[in-house]
Amino acid sequence: MTILKRGGYSFLGIMPKPFNKPPLTYAEQVELLKSRGMEIEDNEEAIFYLSHINYYRLTAYWLPFESDHSTHQFKSNTNFKTVLKLYIFDRELRLLLLDAIERIEVSIRTQWAYHMAHHYGTHSHLNSDLAKDFKNWEENLSYLRKEVERSNERFIKHSIETYLEDLPAIWVVCEIMSFGLLSKWYDNLKPMPTRQAISSTFKINEQVLSSWLRHLTIIRNICAHHSRLWNREFTVTPTPTRTKKLSISQAFIKNSEAGRKIYNSFLIILHFMDIISPNHSWRQRLKNLLYENSEFLTDMGFPDRWDEQQIWLPRI
C-alpha cells in the first residue's frame, strides 16, 4: 500500500498528477454548464452572476442536482435559477443566524463575567485553580493575552495604561473574547456551582450548555466565513436536554443521521432567543425565509409538520 503525504494530508494509493484544467471565461463557464444539462434561459444573466459568485463556490449548490458526479451531468430540469435561489437562501440564512448568535454570545459573556467576578474576584480569569485542566486554562489565557495585545479598543488601552494587573478586569476583557474562546473557558471551568449558575439562566444544565456553546461556535464560524450551511452534516452535534418541560425537548431530533443536520441548531437558537429576547421577531423572520424556500428544507433535516411543534409557534 502506497501512502502519500502532501500539504499535511495523507492519501492511500493515489498518485498525484499535474493540474491541467485551463481557466474558463464566464461565457465558457455558461456553455460548460449547458453542455452538462443545466437549463439556462438567459446567458447574460448567468454570466452576470458568475462574474460575482465564483463558479467553484456555486458547485456546492448544484452538486446535489448532478445525476453523475464523475461526468458532472445534471438531472433533467435542473435550472440555473433554482441553483441561484438555493445560494441566495443559504446566504440569507447565514445572515439571520449571525444576528441571533451575536445576541446569544453577548448574553453568555455577560453571565460568565458576572458570576466569575462575584464568586472569585475581578480577575478570576487569571486564577488557574478554577480550571479542570491547567494546561488548557493557560492556553486559553495565552490566546486572551494575544487578543488584548491586538486590540485597538480604547477601553482596553485605558485599562492597560491605568491599572497594574496583567490583564483588564473580567467584565472588560470578556468584550474582546471570541465566541470560541468563551466556549472553551466555560467548558474548562471546574467549580460546579458557578457552571450551574450560568447554565440555569438559560434553563439547561451545565453539560448541555457546554455542548451547545461548542456547536454554536461552529455555526458562527461557518456563517462568518461565508461557508455553506444548507445540507451540511456536523461531526460535533449538540447534546439534547432531558428537561421535558422545555419545548425544545419535544422537537429535538435524536436520530443519528438527521441529528447531524442544522435543524437542531435552529431549535437551540430559538430556545436561547426566547430567554434573552422574549419579544423578538427572529422566529417569524426565520419562518418566513423557510416558507419561501420550503423545497430545500428536507436536506437540512426538517421533519414533516415541523412548524406545528410548540417551539416554532408564536410566543403569547
Q: What is the CA radius of gyration of the chain?
A: 24
User: pTM (2 decimals)?
Assistant: 0.91
Q: Are 181 and 144 in contact (CB under 8 A)?
A: yes
Q: Are 82 and 33 in contact (CB under 8 A)?
A: no
Say if residue 104 is in the same domain as residue 157. Answer: yes
Distance between CA 56 and CA 73 in Å, rounded?
16
Residue at 263 is within a domain = yes
SS3 39: strand
Distance between CA 270 and CA 286 in Å, rounded?
10
Say if residue 55 is in the same domain as residue 176. Answer: no
Residue at 254 is within a domain = yes
Distance between CA 290 and CA 302 in Å, rounded?
10
Say if residue 156 is in the same domain as residue 275. Answer: yes
Say if residue 140 is in the same domain as residue 272. Answer: yes
Final residue of a domain: which of 78, 96, 114? Answer: 78
Show the domain range for 43: 25-78
Residue in 97, 29, 87, 99 with CA at minimum distance from that of residue 62: 87
Distance between CA 266 and CA 239 in Å, rounded?
14
Say if residue 33 is in the same domain as residue 129. Answer: no
Residue at 268 is within a domain = yes
For residue 133, what is the DSSP state?
S
Model pLDDT, residue 1: 47
Q: 3-state SS of the chain: helix, strand, coil percent to 5?
A: 60, 5, 35
pLDDT over 70 percentage in the chain? 95
Residue in 217, 219, 214, 198 with CA at minimum distance from that of residue 275: 198
Residue at 17 is within a domain = no
At 146, which amino acid appears?
Answer: K
Q: At what angle do helices 80-120 and 263-276 cross, to 10 degrees?
A: 50
Q: What torsion, rounded to 10 degrees, do the Cα atoms 119, 166, 132, 115 define? A: 20
Residue 180 host element (H or E): helix 179-187
List pLDDT tens digits, range 189-223: 999 999 999 999 999 999 999 999 999 999 999 99
Say if residue 42 is in the same domain as residue 116. Answer: no
For residue 255, what is the DSSP state?
-
Residue at 6 is within a domain = no
Say if residue 72 is in the same domain as residue 133. Answer: no
Residue at 126 is within a domain = yes
What total of structural domains would you count in the chain?
A: 2
SS3 126: helix
Final residue of a domain: which of 34, 57, 78? Answer: 78
User: Which parts of the chain have pLDDT scores under 70?
Assistant: 1-14, 316
Distance between CA 3 and CA 11 in Å, rounded?
6
Say if residue 91 is in the same domain as residue 135. Answer: yes
